[in-house]
Amino acid sequence: MLTVTEHKYVVTDKKILGGEPVIKGTRTPIRAIVEIYRLGTPPEEIPSHLPHLSLAQVFDALSFYSDNSDLINGYIKSNQVDTTAELSLNE
């Protein structure tokens, strides 16, 4: 079931990524936009990395993150890849 948020472009749907907040009409999670931003990419350049998104969607995602940082940080943490296991396999 699609749930609309206070943010125009951000929705949740249990059928998409288990209800993680995404950009409406896409499967792009807010955490993906936040992670690109955290790498130092200015918001204006994020659509060049995710060309299916508009600048308005990017700014709304970052605004949603500002309002819900604990929630999104939890999704970021739970989706991190454990690289220490890879390192021990290569030794």
The sign of the torsion formed by the CA atoms of 78, 26, 58, 68 equals: negative
Instruction: Write the secondary structure of the chain as one string of H (helix), E (strand) and C (coil).
Output: CEEECCCCCEEEECCCHHHCCEECCCCCEHHHHHHHHHCCCCHHHHHHHCCCCCHHHHHHHHHHHHHCHHHHHHHHHHCCCCHHHHHHHHC
CB 20 within 8 A of CB 75: yes
Grade residue 80 by pLDDT with cuts at 50, 70 and 90: confident
34 has pLDDT over 90? yes
90 has pLDDT over 90? no
Grade residue 59 by pLDDT with cuts at 50, 70 and 90: very high
Average pLDDT over residues 15-31: 96
What is the domain partition of the chain in residue ranges? 2-80
Q: Which CATH class is domain 2-80?
A: mainly alpha
Grade residue 88 by pLDDT with cuts at 50, 70 and 90: low
